[in-house]
Amino acid sequence: MENNATVQEGKTTAIISYLWIIGLIIAFIMNNDKKNTFASFHIRQMIGLSILSLLNTFVIGRFAGYYVTSIIGIALFVLWIIGLIGAVQGEEKKVPLLGDMFQDWFKSIG
């Protein structure tokens, strides 16, 4: 678990990362100069959610149809809310089911 100073320094960047693609890019740039492990954690979570959202929209939506895409979209929205709440509360709360994979897949980021 991170110390309180690290969390407070990275909290704004972590929250910004959850503001979709633009926020993710801004947070990545903000965290690029002075690496903050708390912000990096949430950036990795949001990168994973963003990639899944794009896959849902452009790949799954093309082949599975509106209802399947909508259900997956709602599930991704719930995961996004969980991640955002974790950032606001200053916790490294992984999104259920996928958070460990996101941290592993994107460990070179941050």
Q: What is the 3-state secondary structure (H, E, C) of 10-70?
A: HHHHHHHHCCHHHHHHHHHHHHHHCCCHHHHHHHHHHHHHHHHHHHHHHHHHHHHCHHHHH
pLDDT attached to residue 24: 94
Low-confidence ranges of the chain (pLDDT < 50): 1
pLDDT attached to residue 100: 95
- Enumerate the domain spans of the chain: 4-105
